[in-house]
Structure 1
């Protein structure tokens, strides 16, 4: 299966004979993938008693953001699709924020869809296992600093925050995994760029520097942890992020919380104190910079204590482009699958959001109306916002795709929707081991309970 995940701003300057592809057409490799995948879809539909001769329906499965709740929700949903026999009907799998954490874990095995059970168990075992050690954490942070021309907040977020959720620190990006960041930008297994303006580069050049359309400088291989952080920075405002990290450090280094005891014992208290002070100084320096205040004293201290006189100027001044979790703009990856060139017939929207479980589909309906993109009318009964059902269909018309919308917590799989929402919040530390299986089960039931309804909508698409 292909991965499409949204979230990254990249700037390209056009030039003759450039390495930037200009145009809205699909990449040649993507077209070849679609041809191969359509054969799989056709065989799957035949097994389900839905024969298709001329045109295979193009189905896109979307996973919204929502932190670890979204990560586990997507994993449980995919398990449900496998159980119903519908997994191979899907042409595109796409996600933002927390859903990308799941996708990144899946795509560490390029054949994951054919052996989902074993891949799923590996992920669950890891999430239930111990946290990444502090020695690994600091080693990773130092590695990012030494190897990158631009050492940014995303690196800190990756090592200190994302690691605590995904519980791995050094997975490299293999040939079939690609993630991205902002609704109008996408990264596929083949290329990355702006879907709105139609400017793309080969994905192998992702992270490199370009000038006038030609590659100027390579960057080290991008690893999965960094990409997960890029796709899942839960706070958009830079100062808010630094404040959050500052509070995180205060709690971490001043309290020996129960789930940190084993990790805490790995290194001497003196090392903890030193490391904590260095990191706190780094955070404080960024906050002062944002406020336009002098940071020279902190700069000197950090140079002396940790970085041997080579602190990057990026921390105090630089021309930069900021990255933001797409989930903060539109918490589901609709934009990419709605590209006219992809010609999607059916969108299955898995919503793992906090708050209004229909916000994503209502927001994209408004965006599509403003952008003249075909999209069905979205009308949701007011009472369903608080107590949603488990299956909604917004009928497509003319060139608009049909949209199936499935809220994670609903009155069908539970009579205590609000309790589930409070128990599985977005902004909390990684879920306890005993919280994981119930969440996977709830997500899976949303699919298995609706197998016949899903098949009926596919039949309607075939007739249309």
Structure 2
């Protein structure tokens, strides 16, 4: 039986705070689209931007994309911004600034300056590690947070996600995505989302207040309060697809808020476990599709910005296959042509019950002009520190993808509005 003081929410509905944020955001979308001579009243399109993993390449790629969306006056029509792995490094950076989308250029320049000139000393790293060692669920994640991620993002960010509540009314709603390591190959239970208000299993419908992530629970009741994990730690939960050899280690250990509960919708093995380990979602699918495919979010259009290494269609292919297995509506994914020199814009939209999916590979035949392989070699996932020139070039490439496809994006938004009307 679940305890009488249960703080765990079992259900698929959105939490009230997210619903309110989305309702406020919905009022700004028509104003944004009106600037592009697109009218919508009751048929406001619900648009989500997905940022894939890819280490520093994904961080800078997403920053360049958001900056160009702002430049093209499209940022205000985005409802959700979701990331895995390296894209969450960018999200953590921009969401430190309240209402960042209104001052995108300043925020971008500050991040570039930090990445280029910032430095975290060994003393600061050891001091952080010493503090983390005092936790009773210390894991290798703490070591990586203190040394690897702090070195890549050039800061030790001790802010917590719940501090962002109420600060981002004029921004897209942020969703950070990880996976439950022990459930990795049982897709229904693997996807775990973290927002400023609530975190939990996206597809199963089991959630808890984000400030409680890390506290001990028994039968849904909090039995021991622990401090909320800081942003440095959360960023490391979503790192290191390139480090497959060490995922046998303990990563991202948290107390299980579902421990000893009775929940028909959740696999018994999860309910019996005192702790769970959350790790890089890139080890399963390198893009956060499943958080926005929750039908309660009513997403009409997904803009997938893909900063992955290797096969430029792997993320969307995997998402399509998993949706088929789980009977989640998703469009048919077909991409004829040269996989080594992909286009910059693909649209998948044959399923009227599924969101329209736009897929945009970072390096492509349009912005790289026959040099996709060369750019891919220059920006490997394992490179975690970029020089000023590399940062500048990568920002430009990511920005070009938005600039070059602006009219196509607007056309798809118009079609989504028409589809909602019908």
Report the TM-score, using the length of structure 1 for normalisation. Answer: 0.78
Aligned-residue offset at 1:180: 4.1
- Closer/same/farther in 2, CA of residues 422 and 238 from structure 1, 3 Å limit: closer
CA contact (8 A) 1:365 1:378 kept: yes
CA contact (8 A) 1:236 1:325 kept: no
- Correspondence for 2:129: 141
Aligned-residue offset at 1:130: 3.9
Choose the corresponding residue for 2:46, options 53, 58, 79. 58
Aligned-residue offset at 1:223: 1.6
Q: Does 168-177 or 419-428 show the bigger shift?
A: 168-177
Structure 2 CA distance, aligned partners of 1:332 and 1:41?
Answer: 24
Structure 1 CA distance, aligned partners of 2:328 and 2:247?
Answer: 34
Choose the corresponding residue for 2:344, options 367, 384, 390. 390
1:181 aligns with 2:178: yes
1:229 aligns with 2:184: no
1:166 aligns with 2:153: yes
CA contact (8 A) 1:179 1:228 kept: no
Figure out how many residues of one structure are paired with residues of the other and give that number: 375
Please list, as runs of the form range in 1=range in 2, the aligned pairs for 1:95-244 lying within 5 A after superposition: 95-146=83-134, 148-173=135-160, 175-176=163-164, 179-182=176-179, 184-234=191-241, 239=246
Question: Could you say what secondary structure the match of 2:331 adopts?
Answer: coil
CA contact (8 A) 2:118 2:155 kept: no
1:44-63: CA deviation from partner (whole Å, max 9, x where unpaired): 11121111011201000000
CA contact (8 A) 1:70 1:98 kept: yes
- Closer/same/farther in 2, CA of residues 238 and 216 from structure 1, 3 Å limit: farther
- Closer/same/farther in 2, CA of residues 206 and 96 from structure 1, 3 Å limit: same
1:413 aligns with 2:410: no
Aligned-residue offset at 1:197: 1.8
1:334-373: CA deviation from partner (whole Å, max 9, x where unpaired): 0010011111110000000000011000111001111111
Aligned-residue offset at 1:235: 5.2
1:425 aligns with 2:380: yes
CA contact (8 A) 1:180 1:227 kept: no
- Correspondence for 1:271: none
Structure 2 CA distance, aligned partners of 1:190 and 1:321?
Answer: 20
Question: Could you say what secondary structure the match of 2:316 adopts?
Answer: helix
- Correspondence for 1:22: 10
Segments of 5+ residues of structure 2 without an aligned counterpart are 165-173, 180-189, 250-272
Structure 1 CA distance, aligned partners of 2:246 and 2:333?
Answer: 36
CA contact (8 A) 2:216 2:223 kept: yes
- Closer/same/farther in 2, CA of residues 16 and 385 from structure 1, 3 Å limit: farther
Report the TM-score, using the length of structure 2 for normalisation. Answer: 0.85
Structure 2 CA distance, aligned partners of 1:396 and 1:213?
Answer: 42
Choose the corresponding residue for 1:340, options 285, 289, 295. 295
- Who wins on radius of gyration, i.e. which is larger? 1
- Correspondence for 1:331: 286
Question: Could you say what secondary structure the match of 1:321 adopts?
Answer: strand
Question: Could you say what secondary structure the match of 1:385 adopts?
Answer: coil
1:440-462: CA deviation from partner (whole Å, max 9, x where unpaired): 00000100111110000001011
CA contact (8 A) 2:320 2:333 kept: yes
